[in-house]
């Protein structure tokens, strides 16, 4: 049986290590040649904001780390439109390579995967 993995990340980029550790999970899954999606919901959508400057924190820039995903065969990051709307984030302030899932599309999208990792 061929598997597919959905990694769901719902934490802001610099709130603890959750976003980083979710990304690590997605990269490991993709590196095992498993079809892998990264889905950002809730505060996880903040991970996609352009112009993150982390030198003062200091932390690694998560937005920059997300840009390695295409090298692992994850060509787009999926993001929940409702979560964006609740936070007043319009898609033009998000980095490139993002697919916005409209309200109602989320359950079907998640169901398309055989395993879900929730962070």
Partner 1 sequence: MKFALAVYGAPANSQAPQSALHFARALVAQGHEIVRLFFYQDGVNTATAIAQPPQDESNLSEEWQQFVQAHNLDAVVCIAAALRRGIVDQAESDRYELPGHNLRKGYELSGLGQLLDGALMADRFITFGA
**CA atoms of 108 and 32, how far apart (whole Å):** 24
**Would you count residue 29 as binding partner 1 (CB under 8 A)?**
yes
Residue 50, helix vs strand vs coil: coil
Kindly give the residue spans of alpha helices, DSSP state H, lying in the chain: 18-31, 62-66, 81-86, 106-111
Shorter beta-carbon distance to partner 1: residue 34 or 95: 34
- Binding part of the chain for partner 1, among 10-18, 56-64, 69-77, 96-104 by CB under 8 A, reads 10-18
Please name the residues in contact with 115: beta carbons below 8 A apart, sequence gap of 6 or more: 3, 4, 5, 6
Per-residue binding string, partner 1, 34-73, x by CB under 8 A, is x---------------------------------------
Place of tokens 């439109």: 81
**Would you count residue 25 as binding partner 1 (CB under 8 A)?**
yes
Instruction: Enter the tokens of residue 49.
Output: 């904001």
In the complex, what is the shortest distance from the CB of residue 10 to partner 1, in angstroms, rounded to a whole number? 8
The footprint of partner 1 (CB under 8 A) covers 3, 5, 16-18, 21, 24-25, 28-29, 32, 34, 115, 117-119
């Amino acid at each position: 049986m061929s598997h597919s993995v959905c990694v769901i990340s719902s934490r802001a980029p610099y709130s603890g290590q959750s976003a980083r550790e979710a990304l690590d999970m997605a990269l490991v899954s993709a590196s095992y040649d498993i079809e892998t999606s990264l889905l950002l919901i809730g505060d996880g959508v903040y991970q996609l904001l352009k112009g993150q400057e982390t030198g003062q924190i200091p932390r690694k820039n998560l937005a920059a780390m997300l840009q390695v995903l295409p090298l692992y065969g994850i060509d787009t990051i999926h993001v929940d439109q409702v979560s964006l709307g609740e936070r007043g984030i319009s898609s033009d302030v998000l980095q490139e390579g993002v697919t916005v899932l409209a309200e109602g599309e989320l359950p079907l999208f998640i169901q398309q995967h055989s395993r879900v990792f929730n962070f």
